[in-house]
Amino acid sequence: MQTVWITGASSGIGEACAYRYAASGCRLVLTSSSRQKLDLVAERCRSKAAADVRVLPYDLNEPDGIKLLVREAWNAFGGIDILFCNAGVSQRTTVEDTPMPMVRKIMEINFFAPVAIAEALLPLMISAGGGRIAVTTSIAGRFGFPLRCAYSASKHALYGFFETLRAENRDRGITVTMVCPGRVRTDISRNALDKGGVRHGLMDPGQDEGISADKAAKRIVRAIRHRKDEVLVGGKELLMVYVKRFFPGLCAMIAGRIKPM
């Protein structure tokens, strides 16, 4: 019986993945900043045959308590087989309208928090014989995208850190799956930071046309199970990943013309 810890588990991709793992009879540790939402997800997971569920609410913008959070997650069921660092925050501001406090907040939640969690959990996983780590990046982590300067930077940074973690620990029983979504119908655009750091509050048209969170979760859970190095999740927008790889100049031109999703 596997134990799965998911951050950003109260909505969107994290919530949908929790239900997938619950239906497989896994034990779940669920984290997000909202206890109320987590409790609802936990109840649904129990109704879907989860072996057991623990809720660990935490604001990942607060770095000082992350080591304790990791210890609590590990001790909940005596170990973690799969860590899915999915929590994140986006933005809808230009470079000129993105003050440094906003940049730091986005980097804290999207990059420093999963790094701190992984660093604290890694030796425990190794001592237990290994484990699987997955982290949500974005196609915005493959190329710059309008109104995403800090978000894109944080997702680029995840690739550098977690690909290095994989390279250093592949022979120690640790696998890393980079989860790279394109357009998925979640509330990430509604919860994105707008000018002044306020909630954007709107669903982007492109994202509204994206795949469902459940369809994304199906692909993600399968990729983690098969220990894939990376999984691209979305629709035709994912072609931009290959355009970037083989035609970087064309990618730069297209990225400047695409309506931000």
Instruction: Report if residue 87 sits inside a domain.
Output: yes
Instruction: Report if residue 44 sits inside a domain.
Output: yes
Per residue in 31-56, pLDDT tens? 999 999 999 999 999 999 999 999 99
Instruction: Report if residue 84 sits inside a domain.
Output: yes
> 213 CB contacts (<8 Å, ≥6 apart)?
12, 13, 15, 16, 184, 185, 186
Catalytic residues: 151
Q: 152 is written with which tokens?
A: 């894109």
Instruction: Report if residue 261 sits inside a domain.
Output: no
Q: Which of 21-25, 95-99, 204-208, 220-224 has the lowest mean pLDDT?
A: 204-208
Instruction: Report if residue 22 sits inside a domain.
Output: yes
Question: Which domain CATH number covers 80?
Answer: 3.40.50.720
Domain tally for the chain? 1
Instruction: Report if residue 235 sits inside a domain.
Output: yes
Instruction: Report if residue 260 sits inside a domain.
Output: no
Nearest to 87 by CA among 158, 26, 22, 144: 158
Strands of the chain, DSSP E? 3-7, 27-31, 52-55, 82-85, 131-136, 174-181, 184-185, 211-212, 230-233
In which domain, by residue range, is 196 found?
A: 3-255
> 214 CB contacts (<8 Å, ≥6 apart)?
16, 19
**What's the confidence (pLDDT) of residue 197?**
86
Residue 114 half-sphere exposure toward CB, CA atoms < 13 A: 32
Instruction: Report if residue 17 sits inside a domain.
Output: yes
Nearest to 4 by CA among 110, 121, 120: 121
